[in-house]
Structure 1
């Protein structure tokens, strides 16, 4: 089931064929978004570095105390180094607080900007992208992946640099204190680098798999919530529950494998310094016994080496954050890199006269897998005069809905052109096309907002009179009986309303403001006969002044039209009035007869 929900080209969860990405090269792509935060992040790094160096200075002050006042028996000489220790502690604590405050706000702004960019991109991407890309995968990119990236910018990136520099500076201090013992600590770098390189390849694949599985899980939850009525009605809640548990267990398994990979690295990173410290202690005590090292120097050396434990121990954790952030970044830019085939032209054309004429000329269309399924439309010609209503009739699967989606560029034709007032709509700005062309779909989509906001979605500047007229035309006056009238918030997807009520609100949204071209995809299918007759009567006042293309499945809807077009074989097979087609086109007569029998 999971394989069917995810586009294969955007998945990297296969052990046998992992997609290898460059962690550093991928993270570099964050630079355009992160650039405004760089000064704050640099300041955060500087304060963290100074705070860490203040911590490294503690053992040197202790050396001063041991080899100075304590050795000399000068108790009064302890005041100055004691004050220095207190000052270093206060400075370290204050700077770590400052570091967090410096990094928090800018990185949250970066996250917000990236989320806005993703949302804007999703709005620009064609419907075909959303048809094949699960919503849960998009939600996981917009929420969990961006949170991972923010944590990396605010903490991981800063401390990767700070801890490496701290290690280098700390080793330099150790070499000054005792070059023989310092070389032992310095020698840790080589096995750690080799181990980290081996670890990175494995962990990167696991991190990507985990993030994809989070997206799958989110998709399952979303589908279960949106389809809760169907699941309950058919008693299939347990089936989806098993699917959810299967995906949750798969995610748990991946997370355990990630934990194992990190634990191996972390245990090795911890074990190597422990061995080195034990060796240092043994050799240092021998040097004290030989008189070649003072006790204060050994304490300072050992304290500094212990101070390097956090920079060394944190390598595994910080590398895990870096790899997860790299895969999250890769997933994020997979969406941003998607092509946008439906865009504004470089030099948009505005029709000189707004009359509302619509001409589909030699139109052909096929989805991306047209080689397998064949083209839905080819060589289709249909012309609507200004103010004319044409009913589009065809068998199920003939391409009626696809044809209506071409009129306002939800899809683009693959052949021919759609002309609005004589201008190819691909030469017009998208906003202009969609201002002139309003659509009511067969499946009404409403949002978790007020009735007013849903109806005025496409024309928020409409007046109260225009809103009232649209509700009257759609026979949606029932909204005034809702608890708060037009300000009543309807539930997600409008499921708190009946199917007919949702369809009438969607129709009101389409007709508000009297668009030049109105496309209605079987807008009355959910209405009872009495309400349908009322809506049809009110629609005539709108259709008299608007060019309309109406997908019709019933004779009552066909009778609203001035002319009928029969879609068959990917072309307009016949046009004429309803009575003309009934008299001379057997295919049309049989189609309507079969539907009337079904309706009866």
Structure 2
């Protein structure tokens, strides 16, 4: 418990340092609330002694002025209490939400700064959960923190007032304070592991849901909806069971914590009645102490809420700091790329291994995954500037990984990638992105206009956009759209066909006039004539572009100056397509697979 408590206190202290202004104002309001409540209890005792008891017993002269003065004094204290509550709630909420916004912005910036290899090792659903539920869990305790601190002030002032009124009754009443603290400590110790489990399972549920949403097309087309529902149901059931276990613990302790101040008040009334009857204390003192204890009944629960939230604070902050303290970076040098046209590309002994899935910081120790086998091994290539090279290989050969390495989406495990003889790790930031473009096999189109999808933050004229569309053979269908360049294409380009989305993605790359264009099977949805027109258009424009295209179809491969055959992450052959086909049986099997399958089907149909 002490470790969790101290970690939680350190986290809250950090939040106070980062957002001091709203916290200070909230504390002012909370102190006014605590001191005002203690003062109101003292005044109730004095009014009872000086006004109520003499008026009831007829033992003294009580004027209307005395009654009005007593009422006005109590009303003034009540108004101060209202002001304190407003300050505490408004600025306490501002304190919490400012911290949540601050850390969500900080996480978003960190997500963007971290290299792609790091993201490959961390499920997107868990990262979304960190930015939402973990941020909320980390700073949820700050909502009740000013209330708890104000309650501490109330206990101190009320304790002093009770001791001054009657030390014996004060001792009887205040015995509930250590009892409350003890109950809260046991409560927090029981809740801590349960809350950590709930927070971890929330991340797992989020990751499963994100996978299901991202793979909706696969799930629907393969009829796997029931299986996905069952998978999500199992994760949700584990989360439900963890929440129920936490709820049962909360349900067992909160009634006890709530009842203790009431029991203290009842005990004071019993002992106080005896002391009043014996003349050892006055009615006003008894009323004052009982009233102050009744005022403590609700605020004292804030300690329980705070201690119950501390495990969530620690668990949520563990996930936040796992991201914010991540040391993975993309180091950049200071060298510029040489000026000129197309870039020459060289890889030297290039090897790459995907990172192992990262362990959840809230998971049990020993859940780390072993590193996967290498994807690429000792890949050495030399692509002359201005040429078109087709990379051919079977599924899992490492083609997409090689495409990402060429434009430095990830860095190799060993070896080097050089553009015009310069190692990409020595280039200044922005040099690779400004000179090389990658069109991935999974085309992503934003819920934006055609112009917005092509320019995508680049300051270009409409004429330049149309020129890129013409090169991508997309100007015809864009011109036919009702809004032209202003036409909204829907989420993920839902209003476009697969080929139209690919051509839009091609135009997005071409408008940047790349010196190196890497097409990762990015023309698979285009017919061969359109594909040839795109590549021929690049050559005619004289942009000075080296093209590396991941290809399967013979029609695409025929457009290349040279072919590179990848097999199980290694280069097994390279050269002109005809020469490679003549000497490489594996390559022949790949490029003729579609034709042979079509011939076999035709033969079967003819025989039938």
Q: Which TM-score applies when normalising by structure 1?
A: 0.89
Flag the 1:248–1:445 CA change in 2: closer, same or farther, 3 A.
same
Q: Secondary structure of the equivalent of 1:211?
A: helix
Shift of 1:423: 1.7
Alignment of 1:549-568 (within 5 A): 549-568=548-567
Flag the 1:485–1:206 CA change in 2: closer, same or farther, 3 A.
farther
Partner residue in 2 for 1:112: 101
Distance 2:63 2:201 in 1: 64
C-alpha distance after superposition, 1:368-397 (max 9, x if no partner): 359765322222211122222221122221
Partner residue in 1 for 2:396: 397
Distance 1:360 1:402 in 2: 13
Distance 1:30 1:42 in 2: 14
Flag the 1:223–1:539 CA change in 2: closer, same or farther, 3 A.
same
Distance 1:146 1:483 in 2: 44
Correspondent of 2:111 among 122, 125, 141: 122
Distance 1:292 1:32 in 2: 50
The question of 1:361 aligning with 2:339 is answered no
Question: Does the aligned pair in 1 maintain the 2:528–2:555 contact within 8 Å?
Answer: no
Shift of 1:285: 0.6
Shift of 1:68: 1.2
Partner residue in 2 for 1:332: 320
Correspondent of 1:304 among 292, 296, 299: 292
Distance 1:400 1:375 in 2: 13
Partner residue in 2 for 1:343: 330
Q: Secondary structure of the equivalent of 1:393?
A: strand
Question: Does the aligned pair in 2 maintain the 1:446–1:502 contact within 8 Å?
Answer: yes
Partner residue in 2 for 1:35: 17
Distance 1:53 1:285 in 2: 27
Partner residue in 1 for 2:47: 65
C-alpha distance after superposition, 1:481-520 (max 9, x if no partner): 3343322333332233222222211211122121111111
The question of 1:472 aligning with 2:470 is answered yes
Q: Secondary structure of the equivalent of 1:22?
A: helix
Q: Secondary structure of the equivalent of 2:378?
A: strand
Question: Does the aligned pair in 2 maintain the 1:467–1:512 contact within 8 Å?
Answer: yes
Partner residue in 2 for 1:15: none
The question of 1:97 aligning with 2:83 is answered no
Partner residue in 1 for 2:461: 463
Distance 1:269 1:32 in 2: 29
The question of 1:269 aligning with 2:257 is answered yes
Partner residue in 2 for 1:13: none
Correspondent of 2:191 among 178, 200, 203: 203
Distance 2:115 2:320 in 1: 18
Flag the 1:115–1:391 CA change in 2: closer, same or farther, 3 A.
same
Flag the 1:193–1:105 CA change in 2: closer, same or farther, 3 A.
closer
Q: Secondary structure of the equivalent of 1:447?
A: coil
Q: Which moved more, 1:414-423 or 1:67-76?
A: 67-76
C-alpha distance after superposition, 1:151-198 (max 9, x if no partner): 433x22212322223223322222222212222333333333333333
Q: Secondary structure of the equivalent of 1:575?
A: strand
Question: Does the aligned pair in 2 maintain the 1:387–1:544 contact within 8 Å?
Answer: no
C-alpha distance after superposition, 1:328-381 (max 9, x if no partner): 2222222223332x4233x52223434522211121212235976532222221
Partner residue in 2 for 1:439: 438
Distance 2:479 2:161 in 1: 79
Question: Does the aligned pair in 1 maintain the 2:28–2:87 contact within 8 Å?
Answer: no
Alignment of 1:43-62 (within 5 A): 43-62=25-44
Flag the 1:599–1:322 CA change in 2: closer, same or farther, 3 A.
farther
Q: Which moved more, 1:483-492 or 1:302-311?
A: 483-492
Question: Does the aligned pair in 2 maintain the 1:33–1:114 contact within 8 Å?
Answer: no
Q: Secondary structure of the equivalent of 2:574?
A: strand
Distance 1:273 1:54 in 2: 19
Shift of 1:594: 2.5
Consecutive unaligned residues of structure 2, counting only runs of 5 or more, are 55-59, 357-368, 600-608
Q: Secondary structure of the equivalent of 2:335?
A: coil
Flag the 1:551–1:46 CA change in 2: closer, same or farther, 3 A.
same
C-alpha distance after superposition, 1:440-494 (max 9, x if no partner): 011112222222222222x512222221121112222223333433223333322
Partner residue in 2 for 1:419: 418
Shift of 1:599: 6.9
Flag the 1:405–1:33 CA change in 2: closer, same or farther, 3 A.
farther
Partner residue in 2 for 1:185: 173
Shift of 1:261: 1.5
Shift of 1:299: 0.4
Flag the 1:575–1:31 CA change in 2: closer, same or farther, 3 A.
farther
Distance 2:194 2:491 in 1: 35
Flag the 1:23–1:444 CA change in 2: closer, same or farther, 3 A.
farther
The question of 1:152 aligning with 2:141 is answered yes
Distance 2:452 2:469 in 1: 13
Partner residue in 2 for 1:408: 407
Q: Secondary structure of the equivalent of 1:416?
A: strand
Backbone CA RMSD of aligned residues: 2.6
Shift of 1:313: 2.4
Question: Does the aligned pair in 1 maintain the 2:41–2:291 contact within 8 Å?
Answer: yes
